[in-house]
Structure 1
């Protein structure tokens, strides 16, 4: 994982949103720009063991504009996790 991140272009930008953790699993809903031609919404799931990432799964989808989304809702809101933090 570290090797992949170290080789990314400086034009790649990741915006984390909602972060959920339970037990040894962490899930992050985010948006990544510069990885593909279109911004993508991503869910990354990590399993942590001994303070280190030992497994990773992800799902990526091109971001759909609000006008093209369901009920006019955005696929990603960078503030989505802010109201739950505390």
Structure 2
């Protein structure tokens, strides 16, 4: 499995299917988190994922890979009552995700953007 395939499978399993067992399967036990609102490790995600609202949805638009870095352009719908477009950046080593950064922005409806362009390709 390529790093790109591993990350895609991991994020769609965890966020798309809410499979918390995927955290142990695809994420390193010493997972380093760079999002300033979350601690290191996967324990917090194991708490958050089951409590997501029934209409929460995760979609992937693009996945790109360069060596041990994989970036995912995705949308989180109804995350704490809001929709977000994100670029999640993962570092992979020995078949496990070992590190994560993200760039997260609240989604603006296409009709309300200055350009009329969507923030997410699947809009």
Smaller-chain TM-score range?
A: 0.7 to 0.9
Identify the residue that residue 32 of structure 1 maps to in structure 2: 76
1:30 positional shift: 0.6
1:43 positional shift: 0.8
1 or 2, which has the higher helix percentage?
2
Of the three residues 22, 46, 69, the one matched with 2:90 is 46
| Inter-partner Cα distance in structure 2 for 1:78 and 1:50 | 32
TM-score, normalising length: structure 2: 0.57
- How many residues are paired up? 79
Of the three residues 6, 12, 15, the one matched with 2:59 is 15
Counterpart secondary structure, 1:78 = coil
Whether contact under 8 Å (1:41, 1:76) holds in the other structure is yes
Structure 2 portions without partners, runs of 5+: 1-13, 15-22, 24-42
TM-superposition CA deviations, 1:22-74 (whole Å, max 9, x none)? 10000000100121222111110000000100100012111001122241100
Q: Give the RMSD, CA atoms, in angstroms.
A: 2.1
Counterpart secondary structure, 1:39 = strand
State whether structure 2 residue 115 is matched by structure 1 residue 71: yes
1 or 2, which has the higher strand percentage?
1
Structure 1 portions without partners, runs of 5+: 80-86
| Inter-partner Cα distance in structure 1 for 2:92 and 2:116 | 36
